[in-house]
Amino acid sequence: MDYHCGLPPRHDPHCNCGAPSAKPISALPGKTVLFERDLRSASTRKRNLTTRHAHVSTIEPFEVAVSDETIEAIKERVAAFPWHEMPEDGGWGYGTNLDYMKAFCDYWVAEFDWRKQEDWINQLSHFKTPIEGIDVHFIHEKGSGPNPKPLIVSHGWPGTIVEFLDFIDPLAHPENHGGVVEDAFDVIAPSLPGFGFSGPPPRPYGPRKMAAIFNRLMTEVLGYERYIAQGGDWGGAISSWLGYEHTPACAAIHINILTMRDKDEPQGPAEIAWAEQFEKDQLVQDGYRTQQATKPQTLSYAMMDSPVGVAAWILEKMHGWSDLVGDDIESVYTKDQLLTNIMVYIVTRTFNTASWIYYGRREEGGRILSPEGKRVEVPTACALFPEELLGWPPRSYAERIYNVTQWTEMPRGGHFAAMEAPDLLIEDIRKFARSLDCP
């Protein structure tokens, strides 16, 4: 099969990756069913990918292994937290709900099993490689069939690769999830520099600089000639810069957020109304963003010594940016999902360096894609989830920034689409990838 934009088949004679078996396990009512992977299949894939990477001396296999002492120290800090007052009419209106936070921490100390989550993370194939002096961590899941399309998926803040743990297998092995092998992807999911299992940059990097690093990962380290980039939150900005500055290697992008801005003001009644509403919506969201973009170091002194503080800071965003039933954060996420994402920041001590990206973007020039009015010319798919934190503009505005070839208005979901509505996001990515194939 030929590929529009030159997306190449990646048949590797050294790779005999077996497709993983998967079976549904129980999920809470109304939640997306998770998949329990066969550990023997996962182990086989890891060995095969390690063999595949053996000729690249800078790639090293990686496994998450947090010490018992670290886990116990975190639990002790959580148990000893000095709870304080909250206004009587509290709820979530003043920030993270105090009653919920106490119950959450009780579960954290008494019931949360990090080792189980660690095993869940390690079922995928993890690697590290140095790029521009940074140890970049990435998951590399080789897709089924002879011609899986290369796809790099990038997370944002306050997310981590935990967002993708139930998202990667259906993309790489669709035939095990009711799909067809022709839709398979080679999935690469890096931890952003300074986030989680990746090393920190020497100073704040914004999404433009991170895009350059990820392009090197895909082309120089992994050897892909063409690839598709996908992302939400900062991953959407990174994907935008990949499509803008790193063609023809980046052949197309799929985004579920619009963070970039046109150099010109909104035009026409619909665009003007969107811009005015956007400013109103962001009034109560700008606090964390301004702090992390101007004085991230000051915030870090409080957070680096307080697991509860990190959890509260992140939970507020997971609650406020998601498509919940009523006010219930656990109508979308389980405590284990929330805690695993939070723990990645804590056990790696990266809350501080992860916040630097906001400062980095400010130094890179902010949201404007091109002062000259140029746009991303590679094919671009836009997936609009109704409870997205950054409300989408009319398509006319987006088309001044991107070459929009697919525009999907979703029936549900919010900012963390890969966790909230993985079925919708996966199918939209597959549909987009199919459209890139020549007839």
pLDDT tens sequence across 97-141 = 999 999 999 999 999 999 999 999 999 999 999 999 999 999 999
Name the H helices within 53-143.
Answer: 68-79, 98-110, 114-122
What is the 3-class SS of 141-190, one letter each residue?
A: ECCCCCCCEEEEEECCCCCCHHHHCCCHHHHHCHHHHCCCHHHCEEEEEE
pLDDT band at 158 (very low <50, low <70, confident <90, very high): very high
Catalytic positions = 233, 358, 415
Average pLDDT, integer, range 31-37 = 32
Q: State the amino acid at position 95 in one-letter form.
A: G
pLDDT band at 287 (very low <50, low <70, confident <90, very high): confident
Whether omega before 146 lies within 30 degrees of 0, making that bond cis, reads no
Please name each of the domains of the chain with its CATH number.
4-435 (3.40.50.1820)
Residue length of the chain: 439
How far is it, in rounded angstroms, from Cα 4 to Cα 435? 9
Whether the Cβ atoms of residue 219 and residue 249 lie closer than 8 Å to each other: yes
In the structure encoding, which two tokens stand for residue 321, read together? 């940016």
pLDDT band at 41 (very low <50, low <70, confident <90, very high): low
286-294 and 296-303 helices, crossing angle to 10°:
100
For the chain, how long is the longest CA-to-CA vector? Answer: 65
3-state DSSP call for residue 77? Answer: helix
Q: Rounded to 5 degrees, what angle do the CA atoms 277, 280, 283 make?
A: 150
Q: For residue 244, is pLDDT > 70? A: yes
How far is it, in rounded angstroms, from Cα 432 to Cα 228? 10
* Interacting residues of 76 by C-beta distance below 8 A, sequence separation 6+: none
- The DSSP bridge partners found for residue 187 are 141, 151
φ, ψ for residue 409 (rounded to 5)?
-95, 115
Q: How big is the chain by its Cα radius of gyration, in Å?
A: 21
In the structure encoding, which two tokens stand for residue 338, read together? 């929330």
How far is it, in rounded angstroms, from Cα 375 to Cα 14? 40
Whether the Cβ atoms of residue 190 and residue 138 lie closer than 8 Å to each other: yes
The pLDDT assigned to 7 comes to: 44
Q: State the amino acid at position 404 in one-letter form.
A: V
pLDDT band at 79 (very low <50, low <70, confident <90, very high): very high
In the structure encoding, which two tokens stand for residue 184, read together? 């398979």
E-assigned strands of 291-375? Answer: none
The pLDDT assigned to 29 comes to: 33
In tens, the pLDDT along 337-362 reads: 999 999 999 999 999 999 999 999 99
Cα 291–chain centre separation: 22
Whether the Cβ atoms of residue 310 and residue 346 lie closer than 8 Å to each other: yes
Q: Rounded to 5 degrees, what angle do the CA atoms 347, 352, 353 make?
A: 95
Q: For residue 386, is pLDDT > 60? A: yes
The pLDDT assigned to 33 comes to: 31
pTM of the model: 0.87
